[in-house]
Amino acid sequence: MDTKTPGTIWSKPAVERLGPGPKLALFWLRHNSALDLAGYLVTSERRFVYETGCEPEDLPRALEALPKDFEVLENGEEGQIIWLRNYVAEQIGTGAQLAKNHMGKAVCRALAKHFEGLREPFFEEYPELREIYLQKYGIDPETEGEGASPSEGLGKPLARTREERRGEERRGGERSTSILQMETDFVTTWNARTAETPISGLRGKIPQRCRAAWNARRKDPEWLEGYDKALAHAVTKPFNLGESERGWVADIEWFLRPHTVPKLLAELAGVEFKESAAESSHSEFEAGGRKATISHGDDLQLEPEGKE
């Protein structure tokens, strides 16, 4: 399918302020041959530089210019999985138009190749495709991995259409307000706790490079309840403030790792933190004919490797 790029993208103020490199990066993202019908692109910094001749930092600059258009999931040695959030809407349509279009089934087929962590945000954006996906593959991303029956959820009413959800967001819908408030509260807490330390503050929102980690953490009620106490403890530890031979300073990426807050809370409680076998497992997915592995165990250390 030939990708269509709306001309309005180039007139957005954030894009107009970009240099030639980041603008080329935007074009490369939208017209990449590895981009699938669901809008997912598995790529790497090395490949980006090789194919465009741009500087490595041009890609994150492009992504940060349009934070609502892209979602980034770090993938270790494999590089990144970048999701073009509006790709399906721009190329095929939304709502009833998307659900009735035969291309909707092709999008679901592309989506089925990805692991569950990618399917969940997709159906939040395009709920009209959930029932089509369930009828074909019988797995609901909301219950996947929880022992749900494959047929569970079939026949339930279609979720809100994309237009209805966007309308709610524009009117300050309860769900979007709640998510926005979570982030606002976290940023406020982070800046207050780190104000008198060498730890960098946040400029009003979670950085683009950390969105995937933040989206995962905010869905954990225990994490939300405990992160303030954990952060208050973290800023009292000299090692986290650069007082070591390496001079490492804690940052937002470290704090949003899966085990950072639980370990800090366990430390405060004077108990040993034990990682469960499930948490150290690996998730696999296939994309572009390649198999990649995300190791959840890579984020286990409370402090960087190499600490004496």
Residues 189 and 286 reside in one and the same domain? yes
How many helices and strands (H and E) does the chain possess?
15, 5
Residue 154 counted as domain residue: yes
Domain span at residue 61?
7-88
161 within some domain: yes
Is the same domain home to 178 and 295?
yes
Phi, psi of 285 (to 5 degrees): -150, 165
Q: How many domains does one find in the chain?
A: 3
pLDDT tens across 113-132, in order? 876 667 778 888 888 888 88
Report the range out of 3-7, 90-94, 100-104 with the highest average pLDDT. Answer: 90-94
Structure tokens at 12: 């957005």
- State pTM to two decimals: 0.47
What tens digit of pLDDT does each residue of 20-56 get? 999 999 999 999 988 999 998 988 888 999 999 999 9
The rounded distance, in Å, linking the Cα atoms of 39 and 34 is 10
Based on the fold, state whether residues 70 and 163 are members of the same structural domain.
no
Residues 102 and 75 in one domain: no
Predicted confidence band of residue 208 (pLDDT cuts 50, 70, 90): confident
Task: Residue 73: give its domain's CATH number.
Answer: 1.10.10.10
Strand partners, 282: 295
Give the residue from 170, 194, 225 where a domain finishes: 170
Looking at the chain, the whole-number percentage of residues with pLDDT higher than 70 is 72
Last residue of a domain, one of 147, 170, 193: 170
User: Which carries the bigger pLDDT value, residue 65 or residue 173?
Assistant: 65
